[in-house]
Structure formats: C-alpha cells, structure tokens
C-alpha cells in the first residue's frame, strides 16, 4: 500500500503583502476606512506609519464608537469625544504626506467650548493642505440647531489647494478669510450666515462654479445674490429660512430651488440651460400663479425645465379673476426643449400640465415621474376655489385629454417621452393614449413600470397585461417605438 508523503510546505509562508512597493500599499489602504487603516499599524513595524500617508482621512465619530456609543452618560460621552479629538490631533501630527486629497470630520456637537476650540487647528490645516474638506458638526438629522454653534476661525493665508468645501451646522463668515483662489464647489448645510455672506463668499472665490445652500439661516428674510462678474454656474437653494431671493448671476447655467413657495426675482440669466423649481407648500393662494408665471418668464432661456406637482397646481391660477383659469403662459417658452414634471396627475394638476404643453411650442422631450406619495390636501385660500377650479377637480381624468380638440403646438415637434412610476391607471393611460395619437414625429416612448407587488410572479403578470394594452393603442406615427420595462 502506498503511503502519502507529508506535505513539504507545512511552514508558514512569508508575509508577501508587506513586501509590496509602498505605492501599492497606499492604494490598498485607500479602500479602508480611517479607523481600519489605523488598525493596520499594529500588523508589523513596516506598517506602523503607513496609514499616516494615505490621501483620504475620514474621521466620523459615530463610526468610531459604533452602537456602543448610544446610551452613554455625559461623563463617558465627554471622555470619548476627548479621545476622538486626541486621535485627530495625533493623526494630523503624524501625517507625512505633503497634502491630503480629502479630509472629513464628522463630530456630533457638544456644547463645550474646550472641544470646539480644538477644532480650530483642524480647520486651519484643512484650508491650507487639502483639496476636499468636509466639516460636519451636526447631531441627529432632525435635531434642532445647537445653542452654541462652532464658528470657523479666520484664515489669513490664501488656500491654494482647496477645491471643495462642505460645512454642516456651524457659523461661517467668508469676509474674515483671506481668499479661496482655487475653490470650485461649496456646500453649506444648516450654516448660520450674514446677509452679505453669499456675495462675500463668491467675491473671495474667483473660480467658484457650484454653490449649494441647504437649511441655512440669515438675519434678514431677503437675500440678494448680485455678482455680475462671478464664474458661478450651478446654484441650488434648498429649504433656507428666506422669504425672498433677488438673484443676478449672468454666468449661471443651472438653477435649482427646493422648498416652500417664496418670491424669487432673477434677471439677466441669458446663459441658463437648466432650471428646476420644486416648490412644496400646504397652501394655494390666487397670487401664486402670477408669481410663478413671472419667474418662468425670467428663466425662459433654459432649454430644460423641471417642475414639481405644486407648480402644476399653482400655474393656472389667476389673481383677481375668479371666473376662470389660465390656459397658457403670458409669454411662451420658446427655448424649452425638455420638460420634466413630478406629479400624481390629480385633476387639479391636469390644468397646469395642459397650460405648460400649450406654452412650450418647441418641446422635443417630455418626462413625467408619477409619484403617489405626494401629500395632497392643499388648503385653498383667498378665493382660489373658483367655479372653474372646482369643475376641473371633479372632471373625469379619462375625458380631460379628449376635451382638448385642438393640438398643442409642441406635439408637432415632440420626439421622445419618458414615463416612470407607471402603473396603468386610468389617468396615466389617458395621457399615454393622447400623446401616441397626437404626436406625429414621436420616435420613442420609454415607460418604466412601478414596482407595486412583492410577489415577482404577480408583478410580471401585471406588467405583461399593461404592455399588451399599450401595444394595442393607436399611434399617429407608425415608427414610434414603445420601450416598456
């Protein structure tokens, strides 16, 4: 009987990873969190200081404590915060790289001046040595503003490397900083600013291209952004504590507003390419229709426009004209090529959609996202509940499009329609049927079915039935292709 020879390689193999070139080791470490990268320093002597040279440092307090961080008493919480701050200090001291590509600090706010003051060196280091800097002093997502917010220290030296800066839950006064000659993107969330902070920031950032303000607070209810010489191309305003915006940014290419209905006055946006107005409110006032029409007229250079369901309901309203609704905009949107709307297509939004289609004679692409989780229970104010408005609210959706005997001018140009969240409902089928029958140049209609069943078999059966109904619909253009998924 043959006997098996013992395996000759029973000895432990050598550590091959540690002998790899340092650039490869740095690349491996770049895929790890800062906490895990720090742990590699205990592997061997050759790994001791490798982690200090990785180009990305991400210090997230919640990740360092994990679930054990919940339920801490005040004393233990303060000690752990101090340890976390010590770790950041030690990491920056040991870091050997000439610069850090990305530096993130997420530190849940604690009303303690000692800990807040320790952040000053981190911020100064970041402003001078990194390309991407994220500073987050927020707590839980729904937590109120801290009583004593951290204020960024003044930086007397120009930041020559910083390109992206994101601040959350702190005080920021751009006027006390020397300049940010390379800064291209700024994201401010829950930041307290002065009335002139936005203009000061843009003035100190000659290459700033993108600015995002979310839930920021200002002393005044009116914010003026008047920067005719700036390079700003993207502006997003989201749920800020502001009642009126006055915007003059001729370089602007993309503008997006998300929040309650407010007055937005813009001028000289001749370069505007894309505009998105996502108004969200609980009240309808008759004056809102005129205000929205003025804004649409001011941004009429945009070739792409996105509107929320609230906009569709507001658009037809006529102030001081209780006997009717607006059927078209005072000034047509001749430059508009792509219209996107998000709606549940309730009856009150039908009039707004018809008004838009009638006022967009050169439309080539139309996208609609059916969303049925939109809150609909708007309180009607100031005589908005006209007989005409109530008549439309009681209209049979399937008959609405049939009532428009005259073609919308855009249907002679429309080439592509995209529909998402489609469920084959009566109101949805009515719109699809109308577009297919009246769009003579329509090349493609893309329909994405909503996922409404957990049972995959039932879902596939529903999709098949819906697809068969769509294929059977008559089309004005025999070359129209329906893509259903």
3-state secondary structure the chain: CCCCCCCCCCCCCCCCHHHCCHHHHHHHHCCCCHHHHHHHHHCCHHHCCHHHHCCEEEEEHHHHHHHHHCCCCHHHHHHHHHHHHHHHHHHHHHCCCCCEEEEEEECCCCCCHHHHHHHHHHHHHHHHHEEEEEEECCCCCCCCCCCCCCECCCCCCCCCCCCEEEEECCECCHHHCCCCCCCCEEEEECCECCCCHHHHHHHHCCCCCEEEEECCECCCCEEEEECCCCCCCEEEEECCCCCEEEEECCCCCEEEEEECCCEEEECCCCCCCEEEEEECCCEECHHHHHHHHHHHHHCCCCCEEEECHHHHHHCCCCCCCCCCCCCCCCCCCCCCCEEEEEECCCHHHHHHHHHHHHCCCCCCEEEEEECCCCCCCCEECCCCCCHHHHHHHCCCHHHHHHHCCCCCHHHHCCCEEEEEEECCCHHHHHHHHHHHHHCCCCCEEEEEECCCCCCHHHHHHHHHHHHHHHHCCCCCCCCCEEEEC
Polymer length of the chain: 485
Do 121 and 91 meet the contact criterion of CB atoms below 8 Å apart?
no
> What is the mean predicted confidence (pLDDT) over 68-96?
76
All residues at 6 or more sequence positions from 294 whose CB lies less than 8 Å from its CB, including other chains: none
pLDDT in tens, 306-351: 999 999 988 887 765 555 678 889 999 999 999 999 998 887 788 8
Q: How confident is the model at residue 178 (pLDDT cuts 50, 70, 90)?
A: confident
β-bridge partners, 152: none
What average pLDDT does range 396-421 have in this prediction? 82
What pLDDT score does 207 carry?
A: 95
Cα–Cα distance measured from residue 409 to residue 413, given in angstroms and rounded to the nearest whole number: 8
Lowest pLDDT segment from 40-44, 64-68, 207-211, 367-371 = 64-68
Q: Between 238 and 423, name the one with better pLDDT.
A: 238
Of the segments 7-11, 241-245, 287-291, 415-419, which one has the largest average pLDDT value? 415-419
Which residues fall within 8 angstroms of residue 262, CB to CB, at 6 or more apart? 242, 243, 244, 245
Q: Given this model, what pLDDT does residue 210 score?
A: 98
User: In sequence order, what are the beta bridge partners of 274?
Assistant: 254, 304
Question: For a pLDDT cut of 90, what percent of the chain falls above it?
Answer: 45
CA–CA–CA angle 442, 447, 448 (5° rounding): 160
Check residue 264 and give its pLDDT. Answer: 96
Residue 77 has φ and ψ, to the nearest 5°, of: -60, -45
Q: What is the pTM of this model?
A: 0.87
What confidence tier does 29 reach under pLDDT thresholds 50, 70, 90? confident
317 and 324 in contact (C-beta within 8 Å)?
A: no
- The pLDDT score that the predictor gives to residue 118 is 86
Confidence (pLDDT) at 99: 64
In whole angstroms, give the CA distance from residue 2 to residue 196: 90
pLDDT over 60 (residue 212): yes
Q: Which residue has the higher pLDDT, 41 or 297?
A: 297
Q: Is the pLDDT of residue 386 over 80?
A: no
Asked if residue 227 has pLDDT above 90, the reply is yes
Give the whole-angstrom CA distance, residue 407 versus residue 423.
26
**What average pLDDT does the structure give for the chain?**
84
Q: Could you read off the pLDDT of 242-276 as tens digits, one per residue?
A: 999 999 999 999 999 999 999 999 999 999 999 99
pLDDT band at residue 376 under the 50/70/90 scheme: very low
Q: Residue 68 above 50 pLDDT? A: no
Residue 228 has pLDDT above 50, yes or no: yes
Q: Are 281 and 258 in contact (CB under 8 A)?
A: no
**In this structure, are residues 257 and 237 in contact, taking their beta carbons and an 8 Å threshold?**
yes
Mean pLDDT check: name the lowest of 70-74, 190-194, 419-423. Answer: 70-74
Q: What is the four-CA torsion angle of 195, 199, 204, 205, rounded to 10 degrees?
A: 130
User: What is the mean pLDDT of the segment spanning 17-37?
Assistant: 77
**CA 292, 295, 300, 306 torsion-angle sign:** negative
- According to DSSP, the residues that pair with 237 across neighbouring strands are 213, 257
The Cα-based distances of 30 to 36, 59, 84, 167 in angstroms read 10, 14, 21, 23
Question: Does residue 1 register a pLDDT over 50?
Answer: no
Name the nearest CA neighbour of 350 among 280, 404, 303, 305.
Answer: 404
Q: Per-residue pLDDT for 441 more than 90?
A: yes
In the predicted structure, residue 480 carries a pLDDT above the cut 80? yes
CB within 8 Å of 363: residues ≥ 6 apart: 336, 337, 338, 339, 357, 410, 413, 414
Tokens of 315: 């658009």
**Percentage with pLDDT > 70 across the chain:** 83
**Angle ∠(62,64,66) on CA atoms, nearest 5:** 60
């Amino acid at each position: 009987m043959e006997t098996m020879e013992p395996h000759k390689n029973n000895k432990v193999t050598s550590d091959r990873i540690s002998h790899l070139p340092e650039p490869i080791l740095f690349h491996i470490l770049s895929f790890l969190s800062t906490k895990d990268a720090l742990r590699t320093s205990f592997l061997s002597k050759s790994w001791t200081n490798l982690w200090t040279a990785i180009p990305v440092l991400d210090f997230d307090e919640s990740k360092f404590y994990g679930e054990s961080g919940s339920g801490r008493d005040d004393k233990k919480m303060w000690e752990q915060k101090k340890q976390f701050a010590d770790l950041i200090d030690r990491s920056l001291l040991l870091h050997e790289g000439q610069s850090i590509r990305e530096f993130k600090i997420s530190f849940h706010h604690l009303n303690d001046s000692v800990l807040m003051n320790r952040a000053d060196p981190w911020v100064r280091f970041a402003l001078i040595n990194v390309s991407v800097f994220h500073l987050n002093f927020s707590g839980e997502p729904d937590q109120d503003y801290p009583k004593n917010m951290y204020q960024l220290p003044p930086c007397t030296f120009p930041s020559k490397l910083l390109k992206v800066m994101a601040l959350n839950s702190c005080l920021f006064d751009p006027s006390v900083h020397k300049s940010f000659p390379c800064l291209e993107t700024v994201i401010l969330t829950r930041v307290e600013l002065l009335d002139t902070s936005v203009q000061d920031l843009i003035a100190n950032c000659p290459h700033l291209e993108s600015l995002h303000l979310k839930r920021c607070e200002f002393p005044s209810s009116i914010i003026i952004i008047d920067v005719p010489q700036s390079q700003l191309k993207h502006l997003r305003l989201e749920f800020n504590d502001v009642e009126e915006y006055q915007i003059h940014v001729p370089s602007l290419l993309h503008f997006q507003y998300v929040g309650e209905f407010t007055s937005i006055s813009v001028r000289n946006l001749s370069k505007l390419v894309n505009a998105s107005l996502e108004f969200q409110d609980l009240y309808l006032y008759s004056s809102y229709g005129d205000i929205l029409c003025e804004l649409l007229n001011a941004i009429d250079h945009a070739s792409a426009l996105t509107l929320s369901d609230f906009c569709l309901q507001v658009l037809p309203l006529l102030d001081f004209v209780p006997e009717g609704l607006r059927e078209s905009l005072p000034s047509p949107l001749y430059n508009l090529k792509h219209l996107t709307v998000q709606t549940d297509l309730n009856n009150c939004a039908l009039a707004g959609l018809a008004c838009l289609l009638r006022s967009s004679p050169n439309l080539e692409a139309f996208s609609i996202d059916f969303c049925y989780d939109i809150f609909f229970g708007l309180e009607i104010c100031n005589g908005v509940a006209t007989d005409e408005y109530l008549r439309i609210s009681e209209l049979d959706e399937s008959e609405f499009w049939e009532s428009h005997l005259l073609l919308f001018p855009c249907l002679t140009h429309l080439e592509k329609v995209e529909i998402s969240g489609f469920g084959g409902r009566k109101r949805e089928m009515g719109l699809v049927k109308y577009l297919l029958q009246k769009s003579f140049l329509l090349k493609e209609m893309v329909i994405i079915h909503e996922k409404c069943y957990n049972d995959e078999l039932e879902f596939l059966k529903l999709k098949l039935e819906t697809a068969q109904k769509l294929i059977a619909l008559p089309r004005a253009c025999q070359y129209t292709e329906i893509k259903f998924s």
